[in-house]
Chains A and B, each alone.
Chain A
Amino acid sequence: NAGVTQTPKFRILKIGQSMTLQCTQDMNHNYMYWYRQDPGMGLKLIYYSVGAGITDKGEVPNGYNVSRSTTEDFPLRLELAAPSQTSVYFCASSVDRGTEAFFGQGTRLTVV
Protein backbone atom coordinates (compact mmCIF):
# COMPACT_ATOMS: atom_id res chain seq x y z
CA ASN A 1 0.00 0.00 0.00
CA ALA A 2 1.82 3.13 -1.24
CA GLY A 3 -0.37 5.72 0.55
CA VAL A 4 0.40 9.27 -0.62
CA THR A 5 3.12 9.60 -3.25
CA GLN A 6 4.76 12.87 -4.28
CA THR A 7 7.13 13.60 -7.13
CA PRO A 8 9.73 14.95 -7.49
CA LYS A 9 11.53 14.76 -4.14
CA PHE A 10 13.87 17.65 -4.93
CA ARG A 11 13.82 20.42 -7.52
CA ILE A 12 15.70 23.60 -8.24
CA LEU A 13 13.88 26.24 -10.29
CA LYS A 14 15.03 29.52 -11.70
CA ILE A 15 13.00 32.64 -10.99
CA GLY A 16 10.11 32.88 -13.44
CA GLN A 17 10.02 29.19 -14.34
CA SER A 18 6.94 27.04 -13.82
CA MET A 19 6.49 23.50 -12.61
CA THR A 20 3.94 21.00 -11.39
CA LEU A 21 4.29 19.04 -8.17
CA GLN A 22 2.59 15.70 -8.49
CA CYS A 23 0.57 14.00 -5.76
CA THR A 24 -1.32 10.75 -5.96
CA GLN A 25 -2.99 8.60 -3.31
CA ASP A 26 -4.28 5.04 -3.47
CA MET A 27 -6.44 5.05 -0.34
CA ASN A 28 -9.60 6.29 -2.10
CA HIS A 29 -9.61 9.39 0.11
CA ASN A 30 -11.92 12.17 -0.96
CA TYR A 31 -10.06 14.94 0.87
CA MET A 32 -6.65 16.09 -0.26
CA TYR A 33 -4.43 18.98 0.84
CA TRP A 34 -1.30 20.84 -0.11
CA TYR A 35 0.86 22.35 2.63
CA ARG A 36 4.13 24.19 2.64
CA GLN A 37 6.54 24.06 5.55
CA ASP A 38 9.08 26.77 6.20
CA PRO A 39 11.62 26.60 9.05
CA GLY A 40 10.05 27.60 12.36
CA MET A 41 6.76 28.49 10.70
CA GLY A 42 4.78 25.28 10.84
CA LEU A 43 2.63 23.84 8.09
CA LYS A 44 0.55 26.30 6.09
CA LEU A 45 -2.37 25.18 3.94
CA ILE A 46 -2.11 26.23 0.29
CA TYR A 47 -5.12 24.52 -1.32
CA TYR A 48 -7.44 21.70 -0.51
CA SER A 49 -9.99 19.53 -2.31
CA VAL A 50 -13.03 17.71 -1.01
CA GLY A 51 -13.48 15.57 -4.09
CA ALA A 52 -12.90 15.33 -7.82
CA GLY A 53 -13.68 18.66 -9.46
CA ILE A 54 -13.87 20.61 -6.19
CA THR A 55 -10.98 22.70 -4.89
CA ASP A 56 -10.66 25.71 -2.59
CA LYS A 57 -8.02 28.10 -1.32
CA GLY A 58 -6.23 27.69 1.96
CA GLU A 59 -4.19 30.24 3.92
CA VAL A 60 -1.44 30.93 1.38
CA PRO A 61 -2.76 30.29 -2.18
CA ASN A 62 -1.08 33.16 -4.04
CA GLY A 63 1.28 31.97 -6.77
CA TYR A 64 -0.20 28.47 -6.90
CA ASN A 65 -2.96 26.64 -8.73
CA VAL A 66 -4.48 23.20 -8.35
CA SER A 67 -6.80 20.86 -10.17
CA ARG A 68 -8.54 17.65 -9.15
CA SER A 69 -9.76 15.67 -12.14
CA THR A 70 -9.67 12.28 -10.39
CA THR A 71 -9.98 11.05 -6.80
CA GLU A 72 -6.37 9.86 -6.86
CA ASP A 73 -4.48 12.89 -8.20
CA PHE A 74 -4.08 16.42 -6.87
CA PRO A 75 -1.27 18.29 -8.69
CA LEU A 76 0.00 21.67 -7.52
CA ARG A 77 1.10 24.13 -10.20
CA LEU A 78 3.62 26.90 -9.57
CA GLU A 79 3.52 29.70 -12.12
CA LEU A 80 6.35 32.24 -12.36
CA ALA A 81 8.41 30.85 -9.49
CA ALA A 82 9.69 33.34 -6.93
CA PRO A 83 12.34 32.95 -4.17
CA SER A 84 9.53 33.22 -1.60
CA GLN A 85 8.27 29.86 -2.87
CA THR A 86 11.42 28.11 -1.67
CA SER A 87 10.01 25.63 0.81
CA VAL A 88 9.16 22.01 1.49
CA TYR A 89 5.79 21.03 0.05
CA PHE A 90 3.67 18.25 1.48
CA CYS A 91 0.59 16.65 0.02
CA ALA A 92 -1.82 14.93 2.42
CA SER A 93 -5.14 13.11 2.28
CA SER A 94 -7.89 12.08 4.66
CA VAL A 95 -10.92 9.85 4.31
CA ASP A 96 -13.30 12.46 5.72
CA ARG A 97 -13.34 15.94 7.20
CA GLY A 98 -11.66 16.12 10.58
CA THR A 99 -10.20 12.64 10.40
CA GLU A 100 -6.58 11.56 10.37
CA ALA A 101 -4.54 13.05 7.55
CA PHE A 102 -1.68 11.12 5.98
CA PHE A 103 1.27 12.84 4.36
CA GLY A 104 3.42 12.17 1.33
CA GLN A 105 7.22 12.22 1.49
CA GLY A 106 7.48 15.87 0.52
CA THR A 107 9.09 17.92 -2.26
CA ARG A 108 11.98 20.20 -1.39
CA LEU A 109 11.86 23.14 -3.80
CA THR A 110 14.51 25.81 -4.16
CA VAL A 111 13.95 28.87 -6.36
CA VAL A 112 17.14 30.71 -7.35
Chain B
Amino acid sequence: QKEVEQNSGPLSVPEGAIASLNCTYSDRVSQSFFWYRQYSGKSPELIMSIYSNGDKEDGRFTAQLNKASQYVSLLIRDSQPSDSATYLCAVNIGPGTYKYIFGTGTRLKVLA
Protein backbone atom coordinates (compact mmCIF):
# COMPACT_ATOMS: atom_id res chain seq x y z
CA GLN B 1 0.00 0.00 0.00
CA LYS B 2 1.56 3.26 -1.12
CA GLU B 3 1.17 5.81 1.66
CA VAL B 4 1.67 9.43 2.48
CA GLU B 5 1.92 10.20 6.19
CA GLN B 6 1.33 13.48 7.96
CA ASN B 7 0.93 14.40 11.61
CA SER B 8 -2.72 15.41 11.99
CA GLY B 9 -1.93 18.15 14.52
CA PRO B 10 -3.08 20.65 15.44
CA LEU B 11 0.21 22.43 15.12
CA SER B 12 -0.05 25.71 16.99
CA VAL B 13 2.41 28.54 16.35
CA PRO B 14 2.37 32.19 17.40
CA GLU B 15 1.85 34.88 14.80
CA GLY B 16 5.13 35.81 13.11
CA ALA B 17 6.79 32.46 13.83
CA ILE B 18 7.91 29.81 11.35
CA ALA B 19 5.52 26.89 10.90
CA SER B 20 7.11 23.61 9.83
CA LEU B 21 4.93 20.93 8.29
CA ASN B 22 6.27 17.49 7.45
CA CYS B 23 5.26 14.64 5.19
CA THR B 24 6.78 11.21 4.56
CA TYR B 25 6.00 8.87 1.70
CA SER B 26 6.57 5.19 1.19
CA ASP B 27 7.11 4.79 -2.56
CA ARG B 28 10.73 5.42 -3.55
CA VAL B 29 9.87 6.05 -7.20
CA SER B 30 7.62 9.02 -6.40
CA GLN B 31 8.49 11.92 -8.64
CA SER B 32 6.20 14.88 -7.99
CA PHE B 33 5.26 16.45 -4.69
CA PHE B 34 2.66 19.05 -3.85
CA TRP B 35 1.39 21.06 -0.90
CA TYR B 36 -2.23 22.14 -0.77
CA ARG B 37 -3.97 24.42 1.72
CA GLN B 38 -7.56 23.64 2.62
CA TYR B 39 -9.71 25.96 4.67
CA SER B 40 -12.62 24.38 6.52
CA GLY B 41 -15.48 23.67 4.12
CA LYS B 42 -13.45 24.70 1.08
CA SER B 43 -11.56 22.89 -1.66
CA PRO B 44 -7.80 22.21 -1.69
CA GLU B 45 -5.78 25.10 -3.06
CA LEU B 46 -2.34 24.47 -4.53
CA ILE B 47 0.48 26.26 -2.71
CA MET B 48 3.68 24.66 -3.93
CA SER B 49 4.99 21.95 -6.18
CA ILE B 50 8.48 20.46 -6.01
CA TYR B 51 10.06 17.90 -8.30
CA SER B 52 13.76 17.71 -7.37
CA ASN B 53 15.81 17.48 -4.20
CA GLY B 54 16.47 20.68 -2.31
CA ASP B 55 14.53 23.81 -1.48
CA LYS B 56 12.01 25.78 -3.48
CA GLU B 57 10.88 29.17 -2.25
CA ASP B 58 7.77 31.15 -3.15
CA GLY B 59 7.12 34.21 -1.03
CA ARG B 60 6.68 33.13 2.58
CA PHE B 61 6.56 29.46 1.63
CA THR B 62 9.50 27.09 1.20
CA ALA B 63 9.13 23.47 0.16
CA GLN B 64 11.97 21.06 0.94
CA LEU B 65 12.41 17.66 -0.68
CA ASN B 66 14.74 14.85 0.35
CA LYS B 67 14.15 11.81 -1.82
CA ALA B 68 16.80 9.70 -0.07
CA SER B 69 14.97 10.07 3.24
CA GLN B 70 11.55 10.11 1.55
CA TYR B 71 10.24 13.25 3.13
CA VAL B 72 8.95 16.58 1.96
CA SER B 73 8.33 19.58 4.18
CA LEU B 74 6.70 22.99 4.00
CA LEU B 75 7.96 26.00 5.91
CA ILE B 76 5.75 29.03 6.37
CA ARG B 77 7.67 32.11 7.48
CA ASP B 78 6.07 35.03 9.31
CA SER B 79 2.94 32.95 9.95
CA GLN B 80 -0.35 34.85 9.93
CA PRO B 81 -3.72 33.94 11.42
CA SER B 82 -4.99 33.66 7.84
CA ASP B 83 -2.58 30.74 7.38
CA SER B 84 -4.69 28.70 9.82
CA ALA B 85 -5.93 25.79 7.72
CA THR B 86 -5.29 22.14 6.99
CA TYR B 87 -2.26 21.48 4.81
CA LEU B 88 -2.36 18.45 2.54
CA CYS B 89 0.71 16.75 1.15
CA ALA B 90 0.24 15.00 -2.18
CA VAL B 91 2.58 12.69 -4.05
CA ASN B 92 2.44 11.51 -7.63
CA ILE B 93 3.75 7.99 -7.42
CA GLY B 94 5.01 7.79 -11.03
CA PRO B 95 6.47 6.90 -13.35
CA GLY B 96 3.72 6.64 -15.91
CA THR B 97 0.95 7.00 -13.36
CA TYR B 98 -1.81 9.55 -13.21
CA LYS B 99 -2.58 9.01 -9.56
CA TYR B 100 -1.93 11.38 -6.72
CA ILE B 101 -1.82 10.00 -3.19
CA PHE B 102 -2.88 12.47 -0.51
CA GLY B 103 -2.00 12.56 3.15
CA THR B 104 -4.76 13.17 5.65
CA GLY B 105 -3.42 16.66 6.35
CA THR B 106 -1.94 18.66 9.21
CA ARG B 107 -4.12 21.27 10.88
CA LEU B 108 -2.23 24.49 11.50
CA LYS B 109 -3.38 27.11 14.00
CA VAL B 110 -1.65 30.46 14.01
CA LEU B 111 -2.32 32.27 17.28
CA ALA B 112 -2.68 36.05 17.17
Q: Which residues of B have CB within 8 Å of A33?
A: 98, 100
A59 → chain B closest CB, angstroms: 8
19 more A-B contacts (CB under 8 A) besides A45-B100, A98-B31, A98-B97?
A31-B98, A33-B100, A35-B102, A42-B88, A42-B102, A42-B104, A43-B88, A43-B102, A48-B99, A50-B98, A97-B94, A97-B97, A98-B98, A99-B49, A102-B46, A103-B43, A104-B43, A106-B42, A106-B43
The interface on chain A, measured as residues whose beta carbon lies within 8 A of the other chain's beta carbons, has a size of 22
> Contact: A101 with B43, CB < 8 Å?
no
The CB with the most chain A CB atoms within 10 A, among B46, B98, B99, B103, is that of: B98
> Contact: A90 with B43, CB < 8 Å?
yes
Q: Mark A20-51, 1 if CB is under 8 A from B, else 0.
A: 00000000000101010000111101001010
Q: Mark B40-82, 1 if CB is under 8 A from A, else 0.
A: 0011111001000000000000000000000000000000000
| Chain B contacts to A: CB under 8 angstroms | 8, 31-32, 34, 36, 42-46, 49, 88, 90, 92, 94, 96-100, 102-105
With A43-B44, A43-B88 as given contacts, are A101 and B100 in contact (CB-CB < 8 Å)?
yes
Q: Which residues of B have CB within 8 Å of A43?
A: 44, 88, 90, 102
Complex CA distance for A45 and B102, rounded to whole angstroms? 9
A58 at the interface (CB under 8 A from B): yes
With A31-B98, A45-B99 as given contacts, are A101 and B46 in contact (CB-CB < 8 Å)?
yes
Q: Which residues of B have CB within 8 Å of A41?
A: 104
B2 → chain A closest CB, angstroms: 10
- Our pick among A40, A48, A103 for the contact of B98 (Cβ within 8 Å) is A48
